[in-house]
């Protein structure tokens, strides 16, 4: 029974990629259907999900040997943990007292057009007052908290592939 559940790393990386596609789809749904505008930290988290998904897709398409799986697993975990760090900062900003919340800055489009790329990235990673708003919760957890959980699960999935020596199911 357990042997049937043990997939090779290619399948697990593909499942991780599909999980990233699902997360990005949910972000698009909340933005375009639900009307929730993403803050700079939300956009940064989406970029981290995209990068993690691209690593997983590359690993699934490449189907490397064990050394390559280890490299992809570490790279996938690093991108997912970078996203987890962004999510953690977002959660922290949401829990700041009202007088400690950073000021709201100009819109992202304005910053992209008028500031150097380094300044834009710095703004996106530091967050603004817009990031302090909690527009959506499920089971008492905000969207960044759920995203943090997803990033930790993706990092775990990625690192587990180092020890996964599964074969294709019969």
- What confidence tens digit (pLDDT) does each residue in 96-154 have? 777 766 665 666 666 667 777 777 777 666 666 577 677 776 788 888 999 999 999 99
Q: Summarize pLDDT for 63-103 with one digit per residue, the tens.
A: 888 888 999 999 999 999 999 999 998 888 887 777 766 66
pLDDT surpassing 50 at residue 167 = no
Q: Domain 7-160 is in which class?
A: mainly alpha
The pLDDT, as a whole number, for residue 23 is 96
The pLDDT, as a whole number, for residue 94 is 82
Which of 120, 16, 54, 39 has its CA nearest to residue 86?
A: 39
How does DSSP classify residue 141? E
Which of 130, 167, 169 has its CA nearest to residue 43?
A: 130
- Are the C-beta atoms of 164 and 157 separated by less than 8 Å? no
Q: Rounded to 5 degrees, what angle do the CA atoms 96, 111, 98 make? A: 15
Residue range 40-53: mean pLDDT, rounded: 91
* Average pLDDT, rounded, for the chain: 82
- Are the C-beta atoms of 108 and 60 separated by less than 8 Å? no
């Amino acid at each position: 029974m357990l042997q049937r559940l043990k997939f090779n790393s290619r399948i697990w990386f593909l499942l991780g990629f599909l999980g990233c596609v699902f997360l990005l789809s949910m972000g698009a749904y909340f933005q375009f259907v639900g009307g929730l505008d993403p803050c700079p930290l939300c956009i940064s988290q989406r970029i981290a999900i995209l990068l993690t998904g691209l690593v997983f897709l590359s690993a699934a398409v490449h189907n490397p040997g064990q050394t390559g799986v280890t490299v992809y697993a570490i790279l996938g975990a690093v991108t997912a943990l970078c996203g987890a760090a962004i999510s953690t900062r977002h959660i922290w900003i949401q829990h700041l007292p009202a007088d400690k919340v950073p000021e709201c800055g100009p819109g992202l489009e304005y910053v992209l057009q008028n500031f150097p790329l380094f300044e834009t990235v710095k703004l996106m990673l530091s967050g603004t007052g817009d990031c302090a708003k909690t527009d959506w919760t499920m089971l008492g957890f905000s969207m960044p908290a759920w995203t943090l959980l997803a990033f930790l699960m993706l990092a775990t999935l990625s690192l587990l592939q180092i020890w996964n020596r599964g074969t294709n199911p019969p």
